[in-house]
Amino acid sequence: MNKPAFGLSLILLLFVVSGCNLFRPTATSTAELPERSAKFLLKKLVQQQVELDWFSAKARVDFADENFSIAVTANLRLRTDSVIWANVKKLNLEAGRALVRPDSFFVIDRINRQYSRQPLSALANMLEVPANFQVLQSILLGNPVFLTTDLQAGIEGDQYTLRGEDDRFTADYFLDGRDFSLQKIAFTEKKTRRAVSMELSGYQSLKKKQNFSYFRTVRVDSPETGPMQIELEFSKIEINTPKSIEFEIPSRYSEIN
């Protein structure tokens, strides 16, 4: 597969596990934060999770690694616990589509007239992180993903922190010191030293008083791949409005693994 096609496919895959050059940090405060227990902070995280039946949005996506970069727009549709769909465009022309179901995922590369279909477990193996459907769904909605237990509370500057660790991962969560909104999630796999993080900002209210992060920055780094970054800016968000999910693989396209 050529370099542009590889980059497109990587965006399609990482996008659903999944920030922007318009990343906007929240205002900081020099006031000392009162100590909070891990139980209290965890309760705040859970209370602020986005809950809905349908989600759709448009997003600007910027991908870059050490050798390649690309900027595209994407249309997203999600039906909770059922399907995630992405349509990616470059210069207003469709470049590809991705479809993720609880047991499988599909990618169509329209530039090279190719497609790929894999069990969802293959995506987890490819990215070397746990990637079941619920995890992907949570990341897309900006909800916390918990890979470890026994979280410990702390304070760093104007943010609260929760840190957990098990035999495989270390996990860090950063919460705004004023409203306890999730600002960053970071995971590191001990054995491979692979690190994945997501920064969230630009929170705005959706219906039912739920807040959604319109700006995300996803970073992946490992000794094998080097650093990669995906920046997203969401717009035109709709919730609980059913959408059609169109995903047809043309018969003339060749399958790749």
DSSP 146-161: ----S-EEEEETTEEE
Q: Which of 13-17, 144-148, 192-196, 253-257 has the lowest mean pLDDT?
A: 13-17
> Measuring CA to CA, which residue among 198, 163, 156 is closest to residue 177?
156
Q: What is the pLDDT of residues 78-91, one digit of tens each?
A: 999 999 999 999 88
pTM (2 d.p.): 0.81
Determine the topology of domain 3-23+32-249 in CATH. Answer: outer membrane lipoprotein receptor (LolB), chain A (2.50.20)
pLDDT at 121: 84
Measured CA angle at 73 (ends 8, 213), to 5 deg: 110
pLDDT at 64: 94
CA 72/CA 94 separation, integer angstroms: 10
Question: Per-residue pLDDT for 180 more than 80?
Answer: yes
pLDDT at 31: 62
pLDDT at 129: 61
Q: What is the pLDDT of residues 183-241, one digit of tens each?
A: 999 999 888 888 989 999 999 998 777 899 999 999 989 887 789 999 999 999 999 99
Q: What is the pLDDT of residues 116-167, one digit of tens each?
A: 999 988 876 766 566 789 888 998 999 998 877 789 999 999 999 999 998 8
Of the CA atoms within 13 Å of residue 219, those in its CB half-sphere come to 14
CA 46/CA 177 separation, integer angstroms: 16
Specify the 3-state DSSP secondary structure of 167.
coil
Mean pLDDT of the chain: 85
pLDDT at 25: 38
Kindly provide the b/e burial profile for residues 51-65, where b requires at least 16 CB atoms within 10 angstroms of the residue's own CB. Answer: ebeebbbbbbbbbbb
Sign, Cα dihedral of 111, 114, 119, 123: negative
